[in-house]
Amino acid sequence: MINYCCLSPHPPFIIPAVGGDNLNQAQATVAGLQTMAAELSASSPELVIFLTPHGNVFSDCISCLGDPELTGDLGAFGHPETSMHHANDLELVELMEKTCTAEGIEFAAIDTALAHRHHLNADIDHGIMVPLYYLEQAGLTGVPIIAISIGFLPLLDLYRFGTIINRCAQTLNRRVAVVASGDMSHRLKDDGPYSFNPAGPEFDRSVKELIEKKDIKGLLALPGHLRENAGECGYRSIVIMLGVLDGLEFDSQVFSYEGPFGVGYLTAGFRPLASGTSFLSRLQEEEAREREASRVKESMPVKWARMVLESYIRTGEVLALPEELKEISKQRAAAFVSLKKGGQLRGCIGTILPLHDNLMEEIRENAISAGTRDPRFPAVRPEELEQLEYSVDVLSKPEPATREELDPSRYGVIVSRGHKRGVLLPDLEGVDTVEEQLEIALQKADISRNQGYGIERFEVIRYK
C-alpha cells in the first residue's frame, strides 16, 4: 500500500558538507525537508521509491537501477566521503517491469554490467541522495529503496506508470513511500543558472497553488510551453507521483518554497487517506475524444500522411495515391512530416528541396520515414498509431539570409558548414528568439557557434 508521498527539491548544497555557509540562504528549504523527512519516516514504510530526473533518462523508456545494493556518493560535488548504501527491492522491480511490458510502457532495469556496456550510470544520483540524506537524518536507515528515472514519455503514460507502482506495491503487500525528486523553475532570476523568464515564477506559483488545492487535473493540464519556458526539472516526477495517488483521497501540505539562487525549491507532502475517485479512465477518455475530434478536422495533407503511415505500419504496404488527391498532387514542393504522441515529438523527417515528382509523393515518403527511420526514436509500433498526432509543413524555396532577417515565428532556418547542415522549422513551442533557433539548428548540424556558417531561411504552410 502507499502510505506517504512527497515532493522534494534536490540542490546538493543543502547537504551541510557541500553547502557550508550557503546553507544559511536556504533555511526554509532545509526546514521544509526536515519536516517532510520526519513525516515520511513516521509513516513507517518498508520501502522508499525515488523518482529522479537526473538518472538514466531516455526519450522512450522509464528506467531504474537493477543491482541488489544501490550506492552513491557526492564525489562530483567535492565530497566523496558523503556516501549512501541501501538494499534494492528487486522483487518489486521485476514485477513493475513485467506489468509495464504487458501494458505497453517501455521499462528497463539497469545493473552495473549493463551500465558499463552502454556508458550509463549504475549509482544513485544527487536527485535521490539529497532527499535520502534528510530521510537518514530523520532515522530512516536500513530501509530498501528503488531508484527510478523519469522518461520523456507522454504525460498520460507517466501517470499510468504511477498507477502501476501502486498496483505492484499492493500485489506484494509492501508499505511504500514515494519521493518525487525535482526542482521547480531554473529561470527565476537573471543571475541564476539560466536567464530570467516570466514563465519561471508563473510555473512555480501555479504548481504550489495547485498542490495546496489538491487539483490533480490542474497539475496535469499545465501547458507545455509554460513548463518549457520555465526550465523546470521536477514536473515529470510529479506526474508519476500523482499516478501513484490515483484512486486515493489525500491531504496535501506545502512545507516550504523559496528561490534564493534563481531556482525554485518546493517541498510538499501527500498523506493518503482512503479510497477515492480514479482519474485514469477519465483522462484516457478525454484524450480519445480529443484525438477523434482532431481526426474529423484534419486537413487533406495530414489525412494522407496518417493513412500512409497506418497502412505501412500495419501491412508493410505503401499506399497508392487515391483519386481524390491526384489533382493536388500536381504541386511539387519540399515537405516535413511531424509526429507527436501525448504532446511529445515522436518523429520528424522532411526535405528542404523536393525530391519527388509531386507533393503527395513527398508527403508519403516522409510520413513513412518519420514513423520508421528517425534515428532519435524506435519505429512506431501498431499499438501507438491511435495515439499519434500529425502535422505537415510544406516549404517554400530556401533563400540566403542574415541573422537580422530571421524571425522564428515566421521563418524556418537552415545552417550549413561544408557537408554539415541543420534545419529547424518555424513557430515551434519553446523557440521564441533567433538565438534559440540558431543554437538548436547548430546543435543538430554539429557546428560550433564560433565557426563560420551559412544561414538560409524559408517559410512554411503548416497543415494539421
| pLDDT class of 191 with cuts at 50, 70, 90 | confident
Continuous segment of H or E residues that includes residue 237:
helix 235-244
**Distances in whole angstroms, Cα of residue 74 to Cα of each of 15, 136, 148:** 10, 15, 19
Among 42-51, 192-201, 230-239, name the one with the lowest average pLDDT. Answer: 192-201
pLDDT at 20 over 90: no
Q: β-strands 47-52, 145-149: how paired?
A: parallel
pTM: 0.81
| pLDDT class of 437 with cuts at 50, 70, 90 | very high
Which residues of the chain are in CATH 3.40.830.10 domains? 2-282
Q: What angle do CA 182, 187, 192 make, to 5 degrees?
A: 95
Query: 320-376, pLDDT tens digit by residue?
Result: 888 777 666 678 899 999 999 877 889 999 999 999 988 999 999 999 999 999 998
Q: What is the rounded average pLDDT for all residues in the chain?
A: 92
Which residues of the chain are in CATH 3.30.700.20 domains? 298-394
pLDDT at 328: 64
How far apart, in whole angstroms, are the C-alpha atoms of residue 227 and residue 257?
18
pLDDT at 74 over 70: yes
pLDDT at 146: 98
CA 81 remoteness from chain centre:
32
**Distances in whole angstroms, Cα of residue 211 to Cα of each of 186, 208, 226, 445:** 19, 5, 17, 41
Contact 400, 456 (CB under 8 A): yes
Query: 233-291, pLDDT tens digit by residue?
Result: 999 999 999 999 999 999 999 999 999 999 999 999 999 998 888 888 888 888 888 87
CATH number of 2-282: 3.40.830.10
Q: What is the mean pLDDT of residues 53-57?
A: 96
Of the candidates 132, 216, 214, 219, the one whose C-alpha atom is nearest the C-alpha of residue 177 is 132
Residue with cell 516570466: 198
Assigned C-alpha cell, 347 = 518523429
pLDDT at 60 over 90: no
267 or 77: which carries more pLDDT confidence? 267
Pick the CATH number of 298-394 from 3.40.50.720, 3.40.50.1980, 3.30.700.20, 3.40.50.40: 3.30.700.20
**Distances in whole angstroms, Cα of residue 8 to Cα of each of 235, 287, 397:** 12, 30, 50
pLDDT at 327: 66
Which residues of the chain are in CATH 3.30.1490.150 domains? 396-464
| pLDDT class of 180 with cuts at 50, 70, 90 | very high
Percent of the chain with pLDDT over 90: 76
pLDDT at 362: 94
Percent of the chain with pLDDT over 70: 99
Q: β-strands 176-181, 2-8: how paired?
A: parallel
Assigned C-alpha cell, 130 = 539529497
Of the candidates 155, 159, 131, 187, the one whose C-alpha atom is nearest the C-alpha of residue 7 is 131
pLDDT at 19 over 90: no
Is domain 396-464 in CATH 1.10.357.10, yes or no?
no
How far apart, in whole angstroms, are the C-alpha atoms of residue 178 and residue 241?
7
φ, ψ of residue 371 to 5 degrees: the values are: -85, -15
